[in-house]
C-alpha cells in the first residue's frame, strides 16, 4: 500500500467474549484500548483503525501501512487455542510475508511467535506483574524500536505466559529477570514486546484491583502486601518512545 493517507491497523485480540471485553475496557482502560494508542501516537480514528477479530472477517494486511496487535486474555498455547486464534496466526504470517511493519504487544508478542512456529508456555517463574526493570541487549540498543531508550529502563507488565523459543531467525532485544524474551526483532519489519508500552500507572493499578483475588491465589502477593504492590507501580518514563519509534521508523517509511 502506498497512498498519501496513513492507514495503521490496530488488531484487537483481547477476547472473543464481548461482555468480558466491555468489562475489561471499562475497568482498566476507561474505554476502547485503541483510544490509548491513538493518544500516544497522536493519530486520528481515520489513521489508526481498530478491528475486532472476533466480530468480522479479517481484512487484508496489505491494505495498511502497518499493524499493531494488542494484548489478549487468550493464551496461544498449543492445545488451548480457539479457531479464531488460528485465523489470527494466518493473518500474521501473511503480514510478515508482505513485509508490512508489525508490532506485537504482550498477547500480540506471543501470537506472532506462535504464528511463526515458536512455542508459548506458562512461565515457570510465575506471573510477571507491575512496574519491572528491563535490560536491552546489544542488538536492542542498536534497534530503531528502542532509539532514545536507556539500556536499563522500567516497563509496565502483566502476563503469566512467555515465549519459550522461536523457530526462525530472530534477534533478542530485551530481557527481564523473570522473562528472558521480552522483545524480539523477527526481521526488518516485525517487532514484538512482552510488556505494555501503552498502559499508564492508573491502568496497571486498575488491573491489579480487578484481578486482586487471582494475584493472591497465585501467591504473587499476600492480602497484606497488596497495598504495597499498588504503590510500587510507577511511571516508566521511556516506553512511549517505543510506540513513536515504531510509527516513525517502521510505519511511516513504508508509507512513502
pLDDT at 2 (0 to 100): 58
Distance CA 12, CA 24 (A): 13
pLDDT at 247 (0 to 100): 98
pLDDT at 3 (0 to 100): 62
Q: pLDDT tens digits for 229-246? A: 999 999 998 998 999 999
Is the Cβ–Cβ distance between 112 and 186 less than 8 Å? yes
Nearest alpha-carbon partner for 39 in 253, 197, 220: 197
54 assigned to active site: no
pLDDT at 33 (0 to 100): 94
- Catalytic one of 24, 54, 65, 106: 106
- Catalytic one of 65, 109, 189, 196: 196
pLDDT at 165 (0 to 100): 82
Distance CA 239, CA 81 (A): 30
pTM of the model: 0.96
30 assigned to active site: no
- Buried b vs exposed e over 28-50: b needs ≥16 C-beta within 10 Å? bbeebbbbbbbebbebeeeebbb
* 3-class SS of residue 247: helix
| Ranges of the chain with pLDDT below 50 | none
pLDDT at 170 (0 to 100): 83
pLDDT at 167 (0 to 100): 66
Please report, for the chain, the start and end positions of each structural domain, with discontinuous segments joined by +.
Answer: 8-200+238-255
CATH number of 8-200+238-255: 3.40.50.880
Amino acid at each position: 500500500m502506498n497512498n498519501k493517507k496513513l492507514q495503521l491497523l490496530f488488531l484487537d485480540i483481547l477476547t472473543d467474549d464481548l461482555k468480558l471485553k466491555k468489562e475489561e475496557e471499562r475497568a482498566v482502560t476507561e474505554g476502547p484500548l485503541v483510544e490509548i494508542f491513538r493518544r500516544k501516537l497522536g493519530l486520528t480514528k481515520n489513521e489508526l483503525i481498530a478491528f475486532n477479530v472476533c466480530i468480522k472477517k479479517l481484512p487484508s494486511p496489505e491494505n495498511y501501512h502497518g499493524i499493531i496487535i494488542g494484548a489478549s486474555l487468550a493464551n496461544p498455547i498449543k492445545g488451548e487455542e480457539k479457531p479464531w486464534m488460528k485465523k489470527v496466526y494466518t493473518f500474521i504470517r501473511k503480514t510478515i510475508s508482505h513485509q508490512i511493519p508489525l508490532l506485537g504487544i504482550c498477547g500480540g508478542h506471543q501470537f506472532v511467535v506462535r504464528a511463526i512456529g515458536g512455542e508459548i508456555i506458562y512461565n515457570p517463574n510465575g506471573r510477571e506483574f507491575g512496574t519491572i526493570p528491563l535490560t536491552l541487549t546489544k542488538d536492542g540498543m542498536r534497534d530503531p524500536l528502542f532509539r532514545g531508550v536507556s539500556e536499563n529502563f522500567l516497563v509496565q507488565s502483566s502476563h503469566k505466559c512467555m515465549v519459550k523459543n522461536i523457530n526462525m531467525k530472530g534477534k533478542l532485544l530485551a530481557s527481564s529477570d523473570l522473562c528472558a524474551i521480552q522483545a524480539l526483532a523477527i526481521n526488518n519489519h516485525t517487532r514484538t514486546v512482552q510488556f505494555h508500552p501503552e498502559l499508564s500507572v492508573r491502568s496497571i493499578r486498575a488491573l491489579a484491583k480487578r484481578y486482586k483475588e487471582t494475584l493472591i491465589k497465585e501467591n504473587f502477593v499476600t492480602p497484606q502486601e497488596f497495598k504495597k504492590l499498588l504503590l510500587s507501580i510507577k511511571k516508566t518514563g521511556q516506553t512511549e518512545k517505543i510506540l513513536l519509534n515504531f510509527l516513525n521508523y517502521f510505519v511511516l517509511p513504508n508509507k512513502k
